[in-house]
Chain A
Amino acid sequence: GDSVTQMEGPVTLSEEAFLTINCTYTATGYPSLFWYVQYPGEGLQLLLKATKADDKGSNKGFEATYRKETTSFHLEKGSVQVSDSAVYFCALSDRNSGSARQLTFGSGTQLTVLP
């Protein structure tokens, strides 16, 4: 079945440091890939996505490139801020359920950015 493996946390960085959170996946088809972010006390929010190989998703300074050859979708940001502190989930969507596609999530990575 489909699965997502992401870097275990927690990750603690100083402000303006470079961030990488690794994510690899296994899927039977051609999945779409996502990064979600969960701020304390809030629901998951879509951060960025990519729907096919070599696509790059980007948002709020975060980027991730869909690498089919390495089955990876690593999240990067060049200069993190304290406000980026949150839990980050990598996910893929490969199966359909009616009109909606189901998501398979990684275990989440807690990021703490110190001032």
Chain B
Amino acid sequence: GAVVSQHPSRVICKSGTSVKIECRSLDFQATTMFWYRQFPKKSLMLMATSNEGSKATYEQGVEKDKFLINHASLTLSTLTVTSAHPEDSSFYICSATKNEQFFGPGTRLTVL
């Protein structure tokens, strides 16, 4: 049990477009989900905390208008990268909590 999925696993988009990444807890309900960003050979950087039914809490330095988070149900949180630029290219990982954090497999975003 405690499986978290992410979709898509990879996405390539043009600069200026928006990209939506989904994070689902498949076999449990998660009141809290976290979104991380991972740069090559760097640690996971917490971007925001997503609580079901309320606004996400963003970490310092993360633009909330750039990275829109929606947590509409106990099994789904979405991260939308708006007006993406090449510097947004990264590996995005979500986690869902059920006593501990369970991680999704990540989404590789490449912005051309």
Q: Which residues on A are within 8 Å of B, measured CB to CB? A: 4, 36, 41-46, 89, 97-100, 102-108
Select B44's contact among A41, A46, A89, beta carbons within 8 Å.
A89
Select A44's contact among B46, B51, B93, beta carbons within 8 Å.
B93
Q: Which residues on B are within 8 Å of A, measured CB to CB? A: 4, 6, 31-32, 34, 36, 41-44, 46, 49, 51, 57, 93, 95, 97, 100-106
Select A107's contact among B32, B43, B57, beta carbons within 8 Å.
B43
Interface residue SS majority, chain A: strand
**Structural contact, A99 and B93, CB atoms closer than 8 A:** no
A-B contact list, 13 entries, CB within 8 Å? A4-B43, A41-B105, A43-B102, A43-B106, A97-B49, A98-B49, A98-B51, A100-B49, A100-B97, A102-B49, A103-B46, A103-B101, A105-B36
Smallest Cβ-Cβ distance to B48: which chain A residue: A97
**Structural contact, A100 and B34, CB atoms closer than 8 A:** yes
A4 to B42, CA, bound (A): 12
**Structural contact, B42 and A107, CB atoms closer than 8 A:** yes
**Structural contact, A42 and B41, CB atoms closer than 8 A:** no
Smallest Cβ-Cβ distance to A1: which chain B residue: B60
A44 to B6, CA, bound (A): 13
